[in-house]
Amino acid sequence: MILLRKILILVLFSVFVNTSFAKTTIDSLKSDIKKYNITDTNYVNTLLDIVSEYYSINTDSAIKYAIQIEKISKKNNFDKGLSDGYGWLGYLYNITGYIQKAIYYYEKRLIINKKNNNYKSLATTYNNLGLIYENQGIIEKAIEYYHKSLKIKENHNLKSGIASTYNNIAYLYHKQKNYKKALEYYNKSLEICKKINNQKLKARILNNIGNVYEKQQKIDTAIIYYNKSLDLEKQNKNQAGIATEYNNLGFIYKQKKQYKKALDFLKKSLKIRRKLNDKKLIAISLNNIGNLYLEINKLDKANYYAKQSFNISKQLGFPDNIRTSALLLKDICVTEGHLDSAYVYYNLYIKMRDSLYNIQNQNATIAQEFRYKYQKKALTDSINNAKRQEIKDLKIKEQKLEIEKEKNFTYSLLVGLILLVAIIIILIRGFIIKQKTAKILKAQQLEIVEQNKKLTDSIVYAKKIQTAVLPDKEVLNVCFKNYFIFFKPKDIVSGDFYWISENNKNTVIAVADSTGHGVPGAFMSMLGISFLNEIVLKQGILKAGKILSELRNQIIFSLKQKGIFGEQKDGMDIALFILNKTQISENKYHCQFAGANNPIYIISDSNIETKNQKNKINKINIKNNKATLYEIKPDKMPISIYNKMDEFTNVELILNKNDIIYLFSDGFADQFGGPKGKKFKYKKFKELLLKNSQLDLNEQHKIIEKTFYDWKGNLEQVDDILVLGIKI
C-alpha cells in the first residue's frame, strides 16, 4: 500500500506540471521507439503515446503519426493498434473540420471492432458518429447511431450507459416538441436511475420532465418536478443544478405573472452561474431577466440584460442562445420603434432557428424509433433460444475468473490509477481545445453576421420593387371613395398581392394568394401582376372567368407545367371582381365574379341577384343586425396545372349601392392564436365582418387589425395576411 501511495503521488505530480515539458516528453518517446523493431506491438503503442502528446499542441503532427499507426498496424495485422489509429484519425479530423474524413475513419473502426467483437469500442464509436451527425443537423443519421449504441448497451446490461442514452434520445424528442415520446424515454431513464441509485442523473431527468410539462402549459405539475429536482441538487451540493432549478422556477412564476417572485429566483440563478463562470448558462439567465423586464415594460433594464446575453452568445457561437437573445432584442426594438434594428435581429433569429431542428428531422426520428423497436422484437426469439448456452458459457467463465481473481486485483488498481490520470489529462487538453474552438466559432459568427446583412439588404430592396408594382393610394383613391386594405406579409416580401385596373366603364379588382410566402411567393406574385396587366390592359379581356382561364394558361406555360407525377404545382388562388360603374337602374350595378379556390363575401341590407352560379350561395345573419353576408363560392381549381381543367365560371351579379365586398387570402382565418392556440377559422372571420359592417370602412380596418394581433398574441404569424374591403 505504501508503494502504491508513492506511485499515486508521483503520477499526480507529473500530471499537473507545466505544459512546457510536453516537447521533452515527445523527444523521449521518439528516442524510446528506436529500441523496438517495427514489427513489435510496443512500436505501435509508443506511436500512440506520441499522438496522445501531440494532439493538443500540434494536430498536423498528431495526424502524421496516426497515419503511421494505420500503415504499420495493417502490415503487421495488429488489430488493436489499427482500431486505436482509426479512432485517433476520426477524432483529429473531426476537431480540425474535416468531417467526411472523420466519418470515414470512424466507419473503418466499426468494421474492425465488429470483426473482433469489441462491444465497448463499438458503442463508443456509434455514439461519436451520432454526435457528428447531430452537430451537422442530420438528425436521421444521429438517431440511427444513438440507437445502435443503445442496443449494444442493452445487450450487455450496461445500465448506467442505457439510462444516459435514454436521456439523450428523450432530449432530441424534447427539442423537436414530440413531448409524448420525450416523456416515455425520460421515464425509462428515471426508472433505471432509481434502481442503480444514480442521484445526479435522476435530478437532471426530473428537471427535464418538469420542462416538458412546462412546455405543455401544465404549470403546477412542472413546479412539482422542478422542486423535486431542486431538493436532490441541494442534497448533492450541485451548484450548477441548483442554479438551473432557480432559473426554471423564475421562468414559471413569470408565466403566472408573479413578477417579484420570478425576478428573485432568476437573479439567484444568475449569481450562482457567475460564480461558476458558465458563460452559456449566464447568457440564458440574462436573456430570461431581460424578457421579464420587457414584459413589465421596463425597456432600459430589458435592453441592458438582453445586450449582455447577445454579446456572450455571439462570443460562444451557440445557435440556440443567439436565436433567443436575437428574438428578445427584436421585440425590444419593435417596442421602442427602432424597426431597422428589429429587422436585423429578426433575420438573425430566423437563420439560427432554421439551423436547428426541422420537420424532416422529426419524421426521421420517429421512423428510426419504429425501425429500432421492430428489430428489437425480431431478435427476441433468437436471444431466448441462445440464453441456455449463454448461461453455461457464463458459468465456465466465472470459474476461470475466480482462479485469476487475486492476480487481476493488483492489475485493477493499476488500471484505475491510469484511468484517473487519463481523465485529468483529457480535461486539461479539452480546455485548450475549447479555447481554440471558441476563436474559430467567433470568426465564423462574424462571417455569418456579414452574410446575413447582405441577404437582408437584398430582400429589403426586393420589397421596394414589390411595393412599387402594387397599386398605390392615389390609384385606389381614384377608383373608390370608401375602402380599406389590411396587408401584412409574413416575411419582408409577400406571396399575397392585390391588383386593380380602371377604365371609363369597369373597375377590375383581384386579390391573390401565391404558392408559398417570402421570396418564393414574391416571385410568383410578380408573375401574377405581370400576366394580369397583359390579359386585361393589352388583350382587353373583361370577362372575369375568361381572365382567370387565360391567367392559368400563362402560368402553366411560363412554369413549363406538364402535369407529370412529382412535378411542383406552383401557382396561386385568386378572387377576381369586376364592377361596371354604369347603373343599370337606380342604385343598382352589374358586376362579375370568378374565383380559383378563393370566394368573395358580399354584405348587403337588400337581396342580391346572381346568374351562372354553380354552387349554392351561403347566407349568414347574426342577431340584432339587419344585414346579410353572402358567400359566393369559387371553382375548386387553382391557377396552375390540376387534374380538373374546366373553364372558370363567370358569375354575374346585380349589386346595390352601399353593398360591401370583401376579397381576402386564407392567412387571417388560418392564423393560430387565442387561449388554446387554435386557428381563427372562416366562421369567426365572417361573424367579425358582419358584426362591424355598419361601421365606416376605416373603423372596420382598425377593428380587423386589432382582432388579428389580439388573437395572434405571442405566437408566430403563419402566413401572409391580406383583406380588401370596398363599399360600392
158-267 CATH choice from 1.20.120.450, 1.10.10.10, 3.40.50.1390, 1.25.40.10: 1.25.40.10
Q: Residue 503's pLDDT is what?
A: 83
3-state secondary structure of 427: helix
Compute the 3-state secondary structure of the chain and give helix, strand, coil in percent, each to the nearest 5. 65, 10, 20
pLDDT, mean over the chain? 83
Q: Which bin fits 96, alpha (ψ -120 to 50), beta or left (φ > 0)?
A: alpha
Handedness of CA 174, 179, 180, 183 (dihedral sign): positive
Which pLDDT score, from 0 to 100, does residue 92 have? 87
Question: Is residue 582 helix, strand or coil?
Answer: strand
Contact at 8 Å (CB) between 283 and 316? yes
- DSSP letter for each residue of 494-554: -SEEEEEEE-SSEEEEEEEEESSSHHHHHHHHHHHHHHHIIIIIIS----HHHHHHHHHHH
* Spans of the chain, pLDDT less than 70: 1-23, 56, 135-137, 318, 355-413, 449-462, 466, 468-469, 474, 516-518, 565-568
* Rounded Cα–Cα distance for residues 702 and 695 (Å): 11
| pLDDT score of 402 | 62
Helix H segments across 256-298?
259-276, 279-295
DSSP string, 613-636: --SPPEEE--TT---EEEEE--BS
pTM above 0.75, yes or no: no
CA distance 651 to 636: 14
Dihedral, 283, 285, 288, 290 alpha carbons, nearest 10: -70
- Are 173 and 185 in contact by the 8 Å Cβ rule? The answer is yes
Q: Which residues, in sequence order, are bridge partners of residue 576?
A: 510, 594
Cα 486 to chain center, whole Å?
Answer: 30
CB contact burial 420-458 (16+ within 10 A = b; e otherwise): eeeeeeeeebeeeeeeeeeeeeeeebeebeeebeeebee
CATH of 470-727, one of 3.50.50.60, 2.40.110.20, 3.60.40.10, 3.30.70.260: 3.60.40.10
pLDDT of residue 368: 54
